[in-house]
Chains A and B, each alone.
Chain A
Amino acid sequence: MGCEQYQSWMTDAALGALSAEREADLRAHVVLCASCREELDRSRQLLAAIDRATAVTVSAEPSPQFVARVRRQMAERNEPLRPRLAAWFPVAAGALALVALLAFWQRPQPSSTRGPSNAPPSTHEIASTKSVTPSVPTPATILKSSVPRAGIALPHRVERTTPSRGTIAPPKLPPALEVLVPPGEWQALAKFAAALKSGRIEGAQLEKHIEETRKPLNVVALEVPSIELPLLGAETPANESDNR
């Protein structure tokens, strides 16, 4: 084995990480080879220098005023160690504030379109809905003007005695109600609203149809007449004479 191979072991040898077999081999070699012996010594000195310099780097003491300064900082910040219970105070306060905010947000709001009373729409209002052109409205128009506020007015019902007749949407809807329409159904909804406003769809028939669909189904029991079947193998005398 050449010196190059031994010199590749030098760092491990200086670190004491060579296997017993290699260490014995290297020890026998350095007895005879002065170059490798010097290299091994240099490796050991280098490691010792590294250890010493690293230790010196972190051997310093903090200044005598250091601890006093830390204590003063703690006192100046006036942050005593908080008990575990106090740690929950901000969390509880935040939760309470959130609940109050939600309650405020969900409170019932009076109708802004018809005022505080739930009076039926006037004929003027109905007439104004008649004058709307039958063009296809935009989704925003439907949401903000027609559907949420007073429902879709039916044009052919001029005489109205109760608030429920002549309207599809319930009259107690909050004024800011918004309707979520699934994607792809805007066009159909717009056409439906335009047809209602133009009178192409009969409101009375539509309402009647809706009421009929809400009625329970009339279940009637089926009457099945009994069928008499002849027994297999029992032949009539007329058949017997035909066979003969």
Chain B
Amino acid sequence: MNALVGSYPGCGVSLDASLEQEFEQRLADCPTLAFRVALGVMRNRAEAEDVAQDALLRAYRNFHRLRDRERFRAWLVRVTWRIALDRIRSAGRRERRELASLVPVPESTAEDVAASSEFGRYLHAAIDELPEKLRLVVILNAIEGHDVHEVARLLDVPEGTVKSRIYMARKRLAETLRWAANSIKAG
């Protein structure tokens, strides 16, 4: 990346090397965040990496437009989220995702392993049915190390709003999946 720092040929305008350096620092911890947000939507590693890569390239191209650099993580989350949703909405993508194998779930017991695949499918379907605001909160809150305070910071909303959305999302998921859990247990 440092090789890119130079000057525009013929323009006589030197590049802002500090921008490159700053973006380099952001790049140290943000790819995982972008990948996980994308994975929460795509449920497929390869597609999630594609989405995260697009989001990071877009962030790189537009980094100079970002006024508040401290908001880079929140910005990246939004960009990744939008790209992932656009990909999902594109023709045929949803069907392919349903057919694709789910992310392997490391469970501790044989019973959980037997049930995880079916329950996971129901859960993902239920999450997809949530309104967009609730869905994003559920995914961000599920990412390791993201408590209510961090989610509120990423979404630029009050913590009370995040708590309320988490409550509504979990309640909807529980009510949707109650029958699924019973049927899996009975089967």
Chain A contact residues, CB within 8 Å of chain B: 11-12, 14-15, 17, 42-43, 45-47, 49-51, 53-63, 66-67, 69-71, 73-75, 77-87, 89
Contacts and interface: CB of A to CB of B under 8 A. Distances in A.
Contacts, number: 141
B53 A70 contact: yes
B119 A53 contact: yes
Contacts of A14: 174
- The 7 A-B residue pairs whose C-beta atoms are closest, nearest first, are A62-B35, A54-B142, A80-B4, A81-B19, A58-B36, A83-B16, A55-B142
B53 A69 contact: yes
Contacts of B119: 49, 53
Interface in B20-61: 20, 23, 27, 31-32, 35-37, 39-40, 43, 45, 48-49, 52-53, 56-57, 60-61
If over half of A's interface residues share one DSSP class (helix, strand or loop), that class is named, otherwise mixed; here it is: helix
Nearest to B45: A60
A17 B163 CA distance: 11
Contacts of A62: 31-32, 35, 45, 48-49, 52
Contact of B167 (A17, A49, A87): A17
Given A15-B170, A83-B15, A83-B16, A56 B103 contact: yes
A64 B143 CA distance: 19
A57 B40 contact: yes
A70 B56 contact: yes
A214 B50 CA distance: 78
Nearest to A80: B4
Nearest to B120: A53
Interface of B: 1, 3-6, 8, 11, 13-16, 19-20, 23, 27, 31-32, 35-37, 39-40, 43, 45, 48-49, 52-53, 56-57, 60-61, 63-64, 103, 105-106, 116, 119-120, 123-124, 127, 138-139, 142-144, 167, 170-171, 173-175, 177-178, 181-182
14 contacts: A14-B174, A49-B119, A51-B142, A54-B127, A55-B144, A57-B142, A58-B143, A62-B35, A70-B56, A71-B1, A77-B57, A78-B4, A81-B64, A84-B64
A60 B36 CA distance: 7
Nearest to B144: A59
Given A57-B124, A70-B53, A46 B177 contact: yes
